[in-house]
Structure 1
Amino acid sequence: MARQRVPGGRNRPSSKDRAPSRPGINVNRPGSHGNMALCRSSTLWIVSSGILIMGIAYVSYQGYLQTRVNTPLSVPSAVSNSGLSDPTRFWGSYRPGVYFGMKTRSPYDLLSGLMWFIPDQITQNDIGFRHWCEQGDNLARYGWVKHDGENFGVQEIFDRNLKLTTSFVKRPGGDRGGDWTARIRVEQNHTKKVTQMVSLFFYFGLDEKAEGALLPVLDASDALRMNEISGTSPTLGSFRVKFVENGQAKQHFHAKLISPGPQSYTDLVMRQLRRYEDKQAAIGLDPTSNVEGDPNLLVYQVNAVTPFELDVVFESGANMAGRVEGELVGNLYTDALKQLERDYDLAFEAQFHLQNKGFSRQDVDFAQAALSNMVGGIGYFYGHSLVQSDSNPQAVQYWDAPLYSAVPSRSFFPRGFLWDEGFHNLLIAKWNPKISADILAHWLDLINVEGWIPREQILGLEARAKVPAEFVVQHNKNANPPTLLLALESMMHAKENRQSTWFREFLVRVWPRLELWYDWFNTSQQGPVPGSFRWRGRNGTADRELNPKTLTSGLDDYPRASHPTEDERHLDLRCWMALASKLMADIGRLIGMDHEKYSATSEFLHDNMFLNEMHWSEKHKAYLDFGFHTEDIRLERPPINSKTHRPGMPKPEKIRVTKTPPKLQYVPQLGYNSLFPFILQIIDPSSPKLAAVLADLEDPQKLFTPYGLRSLSQSASLYMKRNTEHDPPYWRGPIWININFLAVRALKHYADAPGPNQYRAQKVYLKLRQAVIGNVIREYHRTGYIWEQYHDKTGHGQGCRPFTGWSALTVLMMGETY
């Protein structure tokens, strides 16, 4: 720090340090007042110029700060192959938000999808039109039963009394990404044979901003029927689509439309429907409303009697001259699909060994469906986020970029979430590590020059249409758990990965991005004392929340300090940084990068003595957060003002009232947060603290249930308490599979580690593993779905469904593949 200038003393310049007088100038001579005026004028000019320069510099610096939030990191891309350079993954079922659709991994290109309704199920207020995966459709069950993530997929959809089976098979070849065929089979969902009509729609459209052309080829004898589509796009070149039917078709219709994007397809198609009295009162697309110009959406419709089968054949122009083996339709398609299914069964058993472990065929079917929905839920998105920083008065656009990512829920969260994606890839990496590496690379390419990654990715008009406006903008102060590192850590543990050239090259590409991401966490989320960390983003002025949420932690309403301050120390974030430090050191050693600073930090954050000093409460015998907290806090309704309140007016909302002033202390809320030193395996196997954690895991009055670990102990004051008058508890009691997986994995680690708690860890491991697996499978067969969370008293699935994101980690627990 610079020394202060004070009169006299040792800071006063000595005579030899003073500026010498200018020779030849007599300050007392006549006319010196004019010189003094000139001097004052010069001084004012210098000061004014300085202020102006400082102002310009300040404005320039503020402008620079405004650009940082949406400036990409200038290092080579982590994604090595994309678009046509990766033909194996060029085409796929990359539209998880619709019941079935095919899409390329190229921006603004051709996409396709399925729609349907059941004519005799129409009610006065609802046609029962299906397209987007919607919770409100209340389907008995839907989801992939087999999907390998690259070559094929088979999905079953149970809609009222119909069963739809959608499948696809890809064929490599040519230089435009190959060909594919999709099959839609519709049949009765019961043994009683009755005539059942179904109306199927299959469309091809050019995505928002896409260039190209779509031309219908109509039937010579039926002007309402479209037999084929011919088209072009910059990526695909020329292509052809054929519709091949097997069954009793009653009527055909088609539409040529112009759409602003896929977010409008449902409404646009429904508006074209009319009743044809001359065709048995059939409901079909109205060709009189077809556009005159060039359409960017073509819709094929067939009304048919079940059972009915439709093959949709896409052929690249490079292959249209005809393959030697013929078109992929009929028996040729059936045989190709059966072979792929057999290969999938063999690969699944080789990876997870479930039959060898004694699981029933029904249990194996569940596990295959869970994995298939995970990889079948991978989407390809392109667009930009809306972001904001303290330097930006308004939200600004992130740069346009692709994202290849699994999604938590096709119906409720059909987009990328940073918090979820690391858990997703714990499973995906076991099935196909190259897919996981591709996913992680896409996420890391979204890092900006600050080292920040927006935690929720809402890219493209179709994705944005499913998100309320208040959740779209992401702030660069806000972190999210770096769970991508969980997947990287798992991949590092696999010997075949560490020894492979492709994996080392992948790590070299992502290393500079990982370094910057780590540094961003280490600086932006640092806590009040060395070795402590604090999640930003808590709103201490939210007077309607019983406990201000910590959305950035991923645990949302999990109880933290009641009054957010800068003095908070968040246990889970400290443990994430311990994991990150160790992993960075391990990766650095493997690829020959500088790892010493990460090794030193890892050693410090894994030191149990420092961990205990900062987060162990001897009073509560648990690891806890620390902060400005009081337990004596309530939600109360303010008194009604009888002078202004009128009958029928809503009552004022409840607000939080602090009964006893807060003080700096440990936050006595035992739950998932308390387990982080255990679930991230930071506690030493010989530590006496491990025995206390295991006791809490086993205690049914605290965390253990016959269905898995509840998120908050029954002894906690906020157990199952609403956070606002309207918000039900979320992470305050329900069972979440991602944390249960980490707990089961940690129990296996401690069961294998010599120490005084080894036998007890083994006992709890067997008990908890069986509880979680048994309940998830039971609920799947009872309800048809894997769920977001499970009730801690009944085990019943709740929240959104299907939730085959991190809840699919049940497969790894079944296979004991950690």
Structure 2
Amino acid sequence: MAKSKSHERTPKAKNKHLNHNHQRKETESSRMNVMNTLLTVTCMAVAAWFGYKGYLETRVNTPFDTEKLVTLSGLDTADRYWGSYRSNLYFGMKTRDPQSLVSGLMWYRPNDLRQGSQSFRHWCEQSDKLEKYGWLEHDGKTFGIQEIVDGDLIIKTSYVKKPGGRHGGDWTARIGVTFKDSELSQAEKSEEISFIFYSALEDKSTGNIKASLGADNRLSGMEGYTDGLGAYRFSMNPTKGTVEEHSFLIAVMPGLDLVRETVLQNLRVASQKGSNMKRIVLGGDQLPPNAEGKKTDPNFCATQVTAKVPFEFEVLFESGSVPLRKEKLTGKNFDSALSDQRKRFHDKFEKTFKLEEKGFKEDAIDFAKLAFSNLIGSIGYFYGTAQVQSVHTKNPVPYWKTPLYSAVPSRSFFPRGFLWDEGFHGLLISTWDLDIELDIMSHWYDLMNSEGWIPREMILGSEALKKVPEEFVTQISTNANPPTFFLTLEYILNTREVELLDRHYKLLGKIYPRLQAWFEWFNTTQVGDLPGTYRWRGRDGLTNKELNPKTLTSGLDDYPRASHPNVDERHVDLRCWIAFAAGVMARLAVLLEQPSQRYNETYRYLTDNQMLNELHWSTDAQMYADYGLHTDKVELRRSFAAPRPPTSPDLIRVVLADPTLRFVDSTFGYVSLFPFILGIVESDSPNLDKILNDLTKTELLWTKYGLRSLAKSSPYYMKYNTEYDPPYWRGPIWINLNYLTLRALNHYSQVQGPYQAKAKKIYQDLRENVIKNMMAQYKRTGFVWENYGDVYGEGRGSHPFNGWSSLVVMIMAEIY
């Protein structure tokens, strides 16, 4: 029995051992499964994280996901296909095509060049110190007349377009030069001038260009083919005077930013046939051989004529798609076509702005035509890739390739597109031609990325890039710019609503989703920490170089804000911009039969005067103001701690008193006016009375030339922001903000309230001061300027500046 029992226990023990092994294996297997599951989940999480991170990284340069507003084919707007779209040149023509054929003009005085003088003209440069230049008349579509005063010479460029064919038609340019002083002696009139006219293909263009040589080996024309133009031909013919020397250049140009260098490298000194006289000529055929030993295909062709002043020649561009021509657009035909276009321009100008009807004299009307023509004649067409960066990208990344049709602030200094400038430009352009303005607006809204952000500055193409300091090239996707296109839209709704709805309702419907995204981007990314507050991003809170950290994103660059940027800051101008935009969005929503309640609620919330006053009205200073961590006790001092020569130590900011959270109310200026200039202050508010009284105080903003940007009583008035940054928005008079102030004064003079008469009187006086000074400075200097001095009214900053300073035309016409 015992044996039997013992025998019976053995299988049980064995089974128990086997079960234990099985359980252990199951446990290990389970553990492995868990580990594998965890590993899988971890891998999936890591993959998801990197995928999401990649998604975040690409959002900055991913286009907004809706139908494009603009096609790449400029031929869809044939009347605007060709134009003076090379704003940075004294004279240049191009098409609205991504890979355009371009043309341009250069000139120099051979005697000056021989003596080493920098008299070579091509790009508009302030360093050329020309007495004046600019469009006298330009309609934005069909013709332009320009006058350039270079020393004792007057150079006139004019062009006229003629429609026809499938590729934008023909055009002719006439270039002539005379002496400024007609009383010069014959000996003094022996001055020679050399003109160089060229055509070139943009970078990576598909097409060709070649020279047509006559029997005497002289260039008789240029011809070629591009996808956008089809076949084309240039011919150049003297019409007055005698050509002393004629030469040409056929070459490979590295890029449009190197045209000048290409020409200068290929100038030669040669003996004139039958004479010992030396002349400067172009180098002829300069095509290098390719890998197969054949000549490289050229992308640049230029012809030079040297002649005694006076001299005139015509350049005729002919499209190969135009049917048989009965007559060419030259000589008397050109005269007749130009005369017709000028008459249409004059008639339309008076019908639009009614300056004769208002009693302006001829010189004032000519000034207004020039101011307007230089804005619309400086519209450029750009194509290329911008450089952007977001908080999710370690380094700058390229934006998508895109076109931009846009006016520019200044041909010499800012020949590229600026977002907040363009909203002001649009007020004048839409008054003249709604089609052009909606075209411009469509191009800008096509720049919107997937987050609803639009870069505040667009630097497209090698020519534009060459003009921009490296520090300003990259556009940061957290940074805004005032949404001034809402100004343009409101103005169009007020003045052209019937036309907008009749002819452009479909386009407006396509723009609307982008406007929604843009508004939403502002109303989420630029909010402050408290409800109803907003804060411009992009200020440098760590700098020790700036007296007051710049707020480039506000458009008012060095205008003083809180001295120590932080999250507690709230900016009154940005709040007003968002309120204004909400009101425009509500109007558009109703017109397009879209839900408007959210925009109406936002508008009512942000325009509530009680809340506005709680957040931004300083009871101590009796003014609207920013709020933030601030002290006025800052100054720039030399630092001798740095290892630099003692004669040139750095200027650094020294803080002499601790900042506190407070209103920035020691500074009265343009920012203080925003609740007024955007019409948010109620017409019966005592705050409005205080603002109107402050406007007229000479110790604050009032001058006999316009409103200065910063009160003389401000501790920052006319102070340098760094050792090298002179005051910009710290005293000078800016025409765009004077226009907005006049617009507000006009508004409050017409709405019911106790201060109507006071607003009307200030309006009349301010309008007269601005017009009178700008005309006086134009007569004195030949230019419209970026801003004006507040002591003597002199033109300051870049020139010519026919961006928002051209709003003087609207001020003269009293169009708001």
TM-score category by the smaller chain?
over 0.9
| Superimposed CA distance per residue, residues 205-224 of structure 1 (whole angstroms, 9 cap, x where no aligned partner) | 1111111111211121x32x
Most deviating of 73-82 and 516-525 = 73-82
The Cα of 1:466 is off from its aligned counterpart by 1.3
1:84 counterpart = 2:84? no
The Cα of 1:87 is off from its aligned counterpart by 0.6
Residues 110-121 of structure 1 correspond to what in structure 2 (within 5 A)? Answer: 110-121=101-112
Whole-Å separation in 2 of the counterparts to 1:40 and 1:309: 93
1:425 counterpart = 2:426? yes
> Does the residue aligned with 2:375 lie in a helix, a strand or coil?
helix
Which residue number corresponds to residue 653 of structure 1?
650
The Cα of 1:471 is off from its aligned counterpart by 1.4
The Cα of 1:498 is off from its aligned counterpart by 5.1
Which residue number corresponds to residue 559 of structure 1?
560
Which residue number corresponds to residue 18 of structure 1?
none
Is the CA contact (8 Å cut-off) linking 2:175 and 2:314 kept in structure 1? yes
1:334 counterpart = 2:330? no
Which residue number corresponds to residue 200 of structure 2?
205
| Superimposed CA distance per residue, residues 724-757 of structure 1 (whole angstroms, 9 cap, x where no aligned partner) | 1221111111111100000011100111112111
| Superimposed CA distance per residue, residues 765-799 of structure 1 (whole angstroms, 9 cap, x where no aligned partner) | 00111111111111011000000011111100011
Which residue number corresponds to residue 242 of structure 1?
235
Is the CA contact (8 Å cut-off) linking 1:255 and 1:290 kept in structure 2? no
Is the CA contact (8 Å cut-off) linking 2:72 and 2:97 kept in structure 1? no
Which residue number corresponds to residue 219 of structure 2?
226
The Cα of 1:35 is off from its aligned counterpart by 5.1
Whole-Å separation in 1 of the counterparts to 2:759 and 2:646: 57
The Cα of 1:499 is off from its aligned counterpart by 5.8
Q: 1:498 to 1:347 in 2, by over 3 A?
A: closer
Which residue number corresponds to residue 303 of structure 2?
300
Is the CA contact (8 Å cut-off) linking 1:166 and 1:182 kept in structure 2? yes
Which residue number corresponds to residue 749 of structure 2?
751
Most deviating of 294-303 and 272-281 = 272-281
Whole-Å separation in 1 of the counterparts to 2:192 and 2:715: 56
Is the CA contact (8 Å cut-off) linking 1:146 and 1:154 kept in structure 2? yes
The Cα of 1:191 is off from its aligned counterpart by 1.4
Most deviating of 762-771 and 590-599 = 590-599
Whole-Å separation in 2 of the counterparts to 1:660 and 1:39: 67
Q: 1:287 to 1:508 in 2, by over 3 A?
A: same
Which residue number corresponds to residue 48 of structure 1?
39
> Does the residue aligned with 1:102 lie in a helix, a strand or coil?
strand
Which residue number corresponds to residue 196 of structure 1?
191
Q: Structure 2: which 5+ runs fail to align?
A: 1-15, 289-294
Which residue number corresponds to residue 23 of structure 1?
none
The Cα of 1:274 is off from its aligned counterpart by 1.3
| Superimposed CA distance per residue, residues 36-65 of structure 1 (whole angstroms, 9 cap, x where no aligned partner) | 555444433333332222111111110111
Q: 1:491 to 1:236 in 2, by over 3 A?
A: same
> Does the residue aligned with 1:743 lie in a helix, a strand or coil?
helix
Which residue number corresponds to residue 249 of structure 2?
255
> Does the residue aligned with 2:310 lie in a helix, a strand or coil?
strand
The Cα of 1:121 is off from its aligned counterpart by 3.2
Q: CA RMSD in A?
A: 1.6
Q: 1:30 to 1:500 in 2, by over 3 A?
A: closer
The one-letter code of the counterpart of 2:259 is Y
1:322 counterpart = 2:324? yes
Which residue number corresponds to residue 394 of structure 1?
395
Moved runs in structure 1, 4+ residues, more than 6 A? none
Which residue number corresponds to residue 175 of structure 2?
184
Q: Structure 1: which 5+ runs fail to align?
A: 1-25
Is the CA contact (8 Å cut-off) linking 2:72 and 2:98 kept in structure 1? no
> Does the residue aligned with 1:752 lie in a helix, a strand or coil?
coil
Is the CA contact (8 Å cut-off) linking 2:720 and 2:726 kept in structure 1? yes
Whole-Å separation in 2 of the counterparts to 1:599 and 1:801: 42
Is the CA contact (8 Å cut-off) linking 2:287 and 2:296 kept in structure 1? no
The Cα of 1:628 is off from its aligned counterpart by 0.8
The Cα of 1:531 is off from its aligned counterpart by 1.1
Normalised by the length of structure 2, the TM-score is: 0.94
Residues 669-680 of structure 1 correspond to what in structure 2 (within 5 A)? Answer: 669-680=667-678
Is the CA contact (8 Å cut-off) linking 1:109 and 1:211 kept in structure 2? no
Residues 527-676 of structure 1 correspond to what in structure 2 (within 5 A)? Answer: 527-640=528-641, 648=645, 650-668=647-665, 669-676=667-674
| Superimposed CA distance per residue, residues 52-84 of structure 1 (whole angstroms, 9 cap, x where no aligned partner) | 221111111101111111000121122378511
The Cα of 1:636 is off from its aligned counterpart by 2.0
Most deviating of 711-720 and 80-89 = 80-89
1:267 counterpart = 2:233? no
1:700 counterpart = 2:698? yes
> Does the residue aligned with 1:314 lie in a helix, a strand or coil?
strand
> Does the residue aligned with 1:122 lie in a helix, a strand or coil?
helix
> Does the residue aligned with 1:412 lie in a helix, a strand or coil?
coil
Is the CA contact (8 Å cut-off) linking 1:640 and 1:651 kept in structure 2? no
Figure out how many residues of one structure are paired with residues of the other and give that number. Answer: 783
The one-letter code of the counterpart of 2:258 is S
Is the CA contact (8 Å cut-off) linking 1:418 and 1:455 kept in structure 2? yes
The Cα of 1:289 is off from its aligned counterpart by 3.3
Is the CA contact (8 Å cut-off) linking 1:387 and 1:476 kept in structure 2? yes
> Does the residue aligned with 1:637 lie in a helix, a strand or coil?
strand
Which residue number corresponds to residue 468 of structure 2?
467
1:125 counterpart = 2:123? no
Whole-Å separation in 2 of the counterparts to 1:82 and 1:39: 64
Which residue number corresponds to residue 809 of structure 1?
807
The one-letter code of the counterpart of 1:237 is G
Whole-Å separation in 2 of the counterparts to 1:545 and 1:749: 38
Whole-Å separation in 2 of the counterparts to 1:496 and 1:68: 35
Is the CA contact (8 Å cut-off) linking 1:416 and 1:457 kept in structure 2? yes
1:102 counterpart = 2:93? yes
Q: 1:81 to 1:356 in 2, by over 3 A?
A: farther
The one-letter code of the counterpart of 1:729 is P
**Residue 173 of structure 1: which of 139, 157, 164 is its match?**
164
The one-letter code of the counterpart of 1:205 is A
| Superimposed CA distance per residue, residues 241-262 of structure 1 (whole angstroms, 9 cap, x where no aligned partner) | 1111112111100000111221
The one-letter code of the counterpart of 1:148 is D
Seq. identity, %: 47
Is the CA contact (8 Å cut-off) linking 1:149 and 1:376 kept in structure 2? yes
Is the CA contact (8 Å cut-off) linking 1:428 and 1:435 kept in structure 2? yes
1:217 counterpart = 2:197? no
Most deviating of 503-512 and 710-719 = 503-512
Most deviating of 740-749 and 48-57 = 48-57
Whole-Å separation in 2 of the counterparts to 1:776 and 1:137: 23
Residues 724-743 of structure 1 correspond to what in structure 2 (within 5 A)? Answer: 724-743=722-741
The one-letter code of the counterpart of 2:573 is D
**Residue 689 of structure 1: which of 663, 687, 690 is its match?**
687
Is the CA contact (8 Å cut-off) linking 1:178 and 1:315 kept in structure 2? yes
Is the CA contact (8 Å cut-off) linking 2:251 and 2:285 kept in structure 1? no
Whole-Å separation in 1 of the counterparts to 2:234 and 2:391: 50
| Superimposed CA distance per residue, residues 339-383 of structure 1 (whole angstroms, 9 cap, x where no aligned partner) | 111111111011111111111111111000000000000000001
Whole-Å separation in 1 of the counterparts to 2:566 and 2:285: 65
Is the CA contact (8 Å cut-off) linking 1:491 and 1:497 kept in structure 2? no
Q: 1:764 to 1:567 in 2, by over 3 A?
A: same
Which residue number corresponds to residue 280 of structure 2?
283
> Does the residue aligned with 1:693 lie in a helix, a strand or coil?
helix
Whole-Å separation in 1 of the counterparts to 2:101 and 2:456: 28
The one-letter code of the counterpart of 1:695 is N
**Residue 759 of structure 2: which of 757, 761, 769 is its match?**
761
**Residue 719 of structure 2: which of 716, 721, 727 is its match?**
721
The one-letter code of the counterpart of 2:742 is V
Is the CA contact (8 Å cut-off) linking 2:287 and 2:297 kept in structure 1? no
The Cα of 1:620 is off from its aligned counterpart by 0.6
The one-letter code of the counterpart of 2:109 is I
| Superimposed CA distance per residue, residues 417-448 of structure 1 (whole angstroms, 9 cap, x where no aligned partner) | 00111011111111111100000000000000
Most deviating of 723-732 and 774-783 = 723-732
